Structure 1
Amino acid sequence: MEALNEIIEEYETYLDLEGKSPNTIRMYSYYVRRYLEWGGELKARSALRFLAKLRREGYSNKSLNLVVQALRSYFRFEGYDEEAEKLRPPKVPKSLPKSLTREEVRKILSVIPPTRKRDRLIFLLLYGAGLRVSELCNLKKSDVDFERSLIIVRGGKGAKDRVVPIPAFLLEGIKTYLETRDDDSEYLIVEDRRERKDKLSPKTVWYLLKKYGDKAGIRVTPHMLRHSFATHMLENGVDIRAIQELLGHSNLSTTQIYTKVTVEHLRKAQEKARLIEGLIGK
């Protein structure tokens, strides 16, 4: 067991040096540990048997895909690149990201009381800056440039920093929220506890969005707000490469999925209008 712990610790250091996010490191090391405890070898055939076992346990293609990525990464860490290349992830059908309409965004914001300055700020930063929930929780006061109206998102996915301009009203919201604080925490947003002000947790963000979403009768998640940010920017004519920079995507292909969302939105609008059908009917 001690030897296994050492292997996992070294592997986690390798992932960290590669710039993987804490969540990715946690998931990869979990599956690699399970594989090694199962008796897995540094061979693609052994990995395939392990994947077959997980399939019988009810794992979906999406989950198996993550396991494959973890094992391929581990094989490379151990210097078995050829075996890593033999492992192919199962095909996962690509689904378009779900986004809210502008009216739905307005409706949810309307049910967050103006007195809940922190909660409104959380919602507006997720939607208005397109942040991931982990990026939101890790923001520090020093990451806000009040002079230039922007925030610096440090160590996003792939450990890349990026700059996101924010509108004046959102900057004002940050100032107003900070004025309500009487703690010395370095984090921009903290847990709302009287006894201490801890760093905001993703669990709290999910809870708040569910609470206000239920109140508005709309399902909403942190990622849906990020998707909505990207989709609405594209619909407003913002260049896709600018959106790529704002989202912190390393590959343009990742951002281009939003063009499909917009096309789908336009198709539905066109079908609703029934312009051609109206002409032919006459």
Structure 2
Amino acid sequence: MPKSNVLPFPGADKPRRKVVEPTQAAIDALPLGSGDWVVRGVPGLVVRCGARSKTFRLIRRVAGRQVKRVLGELSLAEARRQAMTVWRDLKPRPPGTAPIPTLEEALDSYIEQKQLAPRSAADYRYMLEHYLSDMLPQRLDVLALDRAGVRARFAAIAKKHGAATAALTLRVFRAVYNWARKVHPDLPESPTTACSLPRVKPRDWALNDEELRRWWAAVRKLSPVKRAWWLTALLTGARASSVTNLKWNDVDFEKRLIRFRVVKGDRPYVVPLADWLEHWLRRYRGEDWLPNEADWIFPSPADPMRPLWPAVRNRGVPSPHHLRHTMRTRLAEAGTPPDLARVALGHALVQGVSERYITAHLLVEAVRPFINAVAERYREVMGWAKD
């Protein structure tokens, strides 16, 4: 009989897989007693709808054999996270491969290997411990597979604490993760790839002439040590911690220079001592300075062996960082070239092709005319006189 006349015998139909959408609402809507449902988009994740409960399981093939793990009665989000963790443990890894670190272990390694300044290391640790504490014990590969969860977390931080805090936390997380990825190249792309944060608006903190006059009216009423502290912050634009930790051996009255040792990024720098700042400091040292063994320029009145900060804050006086913004703005007003303005504020020079040839400490004297121009402008606005 010709083959064309042979009718094929019908075989048994393959059982159809029942698929459920990866949402909690879809899981909740599944009827009890309906059997196993595959969760779409999550490899191996199955929800079994028994007579009384719904239980998640992970079913994957490892080295040619099927492996099953019962995850339990969980929410979809928790079941997804546990499935990722279990699969990472089951998945074969090449011999000799280093174990994937947790976020906390990666942070410790990053701080140690990058040799961060103590202040920077403390800031990095604070951001992750304060805003991502529950993520610290989780492995990086597990975090990487939960992009939606990571995106939701940073959106929540932005909503509760502001875009600037969320953006800073995001930068720290991304830096730590990407550093670990260099050591563990099999790590997937950072989950922060999917994060989109509101743009942080620039801070218009520089004080105008009228605000400077009000500032001076408030500062004049302070004690001599606090008044000298604020004048130093104003006439250098230095950060609060840099001003606080000044000692007299940091000030060279002969060469008219001032050196900041405690700085962000652990990059000490030297700037010209403005003529007006020299006047105020000489006067303060001769009339009001409280001698102390530590040689602090601004000792705490309560304990001279300790520096003044944080008792320097006073109601009605803008923050020290407002004065830093003011100095940068007034330098621009005086026509200071960008590179010299960076030297004046202790900023790193931009790493362009030509900037790599610039040696910052050789530009200190070039900054002096602009520092004095800003100080002279302050004198005009606030009516200073050398009495």
Match of 1:55 in 2: 155
Change (3 A) 1:184 1:5: farther
Alignment partners' CA distance in 1, 2:291 and 2:244: 19
**For each residue in 1:137-190, what CA deviation from the matched residue of structure 2 results, as whole angstroms up to 9, or x when unmatched?**
222222111111111122522222221112233123223333421211233222
Does residue 331 of structure 2 align to residue 233 of structure 1? yes
Whole-Å separation in 1 of the counterparts to 2:189 and 2:272: 44
**Cα shift at 1:90:** 2.4
Q: How many residues align?
A: 237
Q: Which residue matches 2:308?
A: 200
- Residue pair 2:237, 2:345 contacting (<8 A) in 1 also: yes
Q: Pick one of 255, 268, 275 that aligns with 1:161.
A: 268
Matched, 1:187 2:296: yes
Residue 5 of structure 1 and its aligned partner are, at CA, apart by: 7.9
Would the alpha carbon gap of residues 69 and 178 (structure 1) be closer, same or farther in structure 2, given more than 3 Å must change? same
- 2:253 and 2:126 map into 1 onto residues whose CA distance is 41
Greater RCO (Cα-Cα under 8 Å, separation 6 or more): 1
Instruction: Kindly indicate whether the alpha-carbon contact (under 8 Å) linking 1:35 and 1:50 is maintained by their aligned counterparts in 2.
Output: no
Root-mean-square deviation over aligned CA pairs = 3.2
Residue 146 of structure 1, aligned match among 229, 249, 253 = 253
For residues 185 and 161 of structure 1, what CA distance do their matches in structure 2 show?
Answer: 20
Match in the other structure for 2:128: 32
State which drifts further: 160-169 or 89-98: 89-98
Which structure shows the higher helix fraction? 1
Question: Taking structure 1 as reference, are residues 167 and 30 closer, same or farther at Cα in structure 2, changes over 3 Å only?
Answer: closer
Partner of 1:18: 116
Paired residue type of 1:13? E
Max Rg structure? 2
Moved more, 48-57 or 156-165: 48-57
Structure-2 separation of matches of 1:125 and 1:46: 49
Counterpart-to-counterpart distance in 2, 1:118 and 1:86: 47
Question: Is 1:83 aligned to 2:189, yes or no?
Answer: yes
Q: What is aligned with 2:340?
A: 242
Structure having the larger proportion of residues in strand = 2
Q: Which of 91, 102, 108 does residue 209 from structure 2 map onto?
A: 102
Describe the superposition over 1:10-30 as per-residue Cα deviations: whole angstroms up to 9, x where unpaired.
554345x134x61x3223213
Q: Is the 8 A contact 1:68 1:89 kept in 2?
A: no
Change in CA separation of 1:29 and 1:47 when aligned onto 2, cut-off 3 Å: farther
Distance in 1 of aligned mates of 2:196 and 2:172: 11
Pick the aligned partner of 2:236 from 129, 153, 164: 129
Summarize the Cα distance change of 1:75–1:54 in structure 2 as closer, same or farther, 3 Å threshold.
closer
| One-letter amino acid of the structure 2 residue matched with residue 52 of structure 1 | A
TM-score, length of structure 2 as denominator length: 0.53
Measure, in 1, the Cα distance between the counterparts of 2:169 and 2:176. 11
Q: Deviations over 1:55-97 (max 9, x none)?
A: 3362433222111111122224433577359646624243243
Unmatched 5+ residue regions in structure 1? 214-219, 254-282
Task: Give TM-score scaled by structure 1 length.
Answer: 0.70
Aligned to 1:71: 173
SS at match of 1:191: coil
**Cα distance in 2 between the residues matched to 1:86 and 1:54:** 9
Q: Cα distance 1:53–1:114, how it changes in 2: closer, same or farther (>3 A)?
A: closer
Q: Residue 129 of structure 1: CA displacement?
A: 0.5
Contact 1:112 1:120 in 2 (8 A): yes
1:237, 1:229 → 2: CA distance? 12
Answer whether contact 2:258 2:270 (CA < 8 A) is retained: yes
Distance 1:177 1:28 in 2: 38
- Contact 1:99/1:228 (8 A) holds in 2: yes
- For residue 280 of structure 1, what is the aligned residue in structure 2? none
Report if the CA contact (8 A) 1:162-1:248 is conserved.
yes
